[in-house]
Amino acid sequence: MRRNLVFIFLQIALLISIQAAEVTVAVASNFSLPMRKIAAQFEAEFDHKVRLSFGSTGAFYAQIKNGGPFHLLVAADQETPARLEKEGLGLAGTRFTYAQGRLVLWSRQPGRVDKEGEILKAGHFQKLALANPKLAPYGVAAMEALHSLNLNEQLKSKFVQGENISQAYQFVETENAQIGFVAMSQVFSEDKLLKGSAWIVPPQLYSPIQQDAILLLAGQKNSAAIELMRYLKTDRAKSVMSAYGYSHPIQ
């Protein structure tokens, strides 16, 4: 009887080891905090390992084109996953919009940024941080917002550009820039500002930041990648995203 139990246990352990897999995910910088939580939840529910790499969507595109070792791309835009799908580097039919991001003007100093964003017009600051619009969708949104306010020419001499939204955040966090455009998920949690002062940029001032994910060619036979794609669509994952200020498209 004992031998039989040991044999059954070994069979189960072998089956689990076969089913367990590791997924490497390229994640847009704006989504780093919620993705860490989602990955932790996913690992707790499934016997899979998640390896996360954070950076700009544009930089990830170049890496994937050059054979970067990613199974899944969680992008900050729709265009990059669509391009990868068209080029045969992303699996057709797996691309979907997982969230819509929001842009915030932020300072680590309380009271510096007013709730109407009038500080931009007043110009009482030396440097304005934003992500590089050639690489990062949040940089594009920041430039669109400034154009909508007719402030681009007035303020461009004060721009400090980061490669991605995380670097733009770091410029403000270290006060190398007094204010900067960042993702809402970087400075808000459960609708509460974590520190400093902020203006939530009205969404009519910039194009919607629709963020897509896609299963990459390298992940087509990876069980962890496939399961994680499904998990991003669950209410559990969406609950985490909502806590960081992301909204969700109607499926």
Do 96 and 8 lie in a common domain?
Answer: yes
CATH assignment at residue 37? 3.40.190.10
Q: What is the mean pLDDT of the chain?
A: 91
pLDDT at residue 248, as a whole number: 83
Evaluate whether residue 232 is within a structural domain.
yes
Radius of gyration of the chain (CA): 21
Q: How many domains does the chain have?
A: 2
Q: How far is CA 38 from CA 45, 65, 103, 165, 188, in A?
A: 11, 27, 22, 20, 17
Is the model's pLDDT at 16 over the cut of 70? Answer: no
Whether 3 has a pLDDT exceeding 80, the answer reads no
The answer on 223 and 140 residing in a single domain is: no
- Give the single-character DSSP code of 149: T
CB 30 within 8 A of CB 185: yes
pLDDT at 11: 47
Domain presence at residue 249: no
- Is pLDDT at 19 greater than 90 in this prediction? no
Does 221 share its domain with 175?
A: no
Confidence of residue 21 (pLDDT cuts 50, 70, 90): confident
The answer to whether position 250 is within a domain reads no
Question: Is the CB of residue 58 less than 8 Å from the CB of residue 136?
Answer: yes
Beta partners for residue 179, in sequence order: 128
Evaluate if residue 2 carries a pLDDT over 90.
no
**What pLDDT sits at residue 250?**
54
- Verify that 112 and 91 share a domain, yes or no: no
pTM, two decimals, is: 0.81
Tens of pLDDT, residues 144-169: 999 999 999 999 999 999 998 999 99
Q: Which of 17-21, 120-124, 237-241 has the lowest mean pLDDT?
A: 17-21
Q: What is the pLDDT of residues 30-42, one digit of tens each?
A: 999 999 999 999 9
pLDDT at position 190 over 70: yes
Domain that holds residue 129: 103-200
pLDDT of residue 81: 97
Judgement on whether residues 196 and 213 belong to the same structural domain of the protein: no
CB atoms within 10 A of CB 8: 10
User: Is the CB of residue 98 less than 8 Å from the CB of residue 233?
Assistant: yes
Same domain, 168 and 195: yes
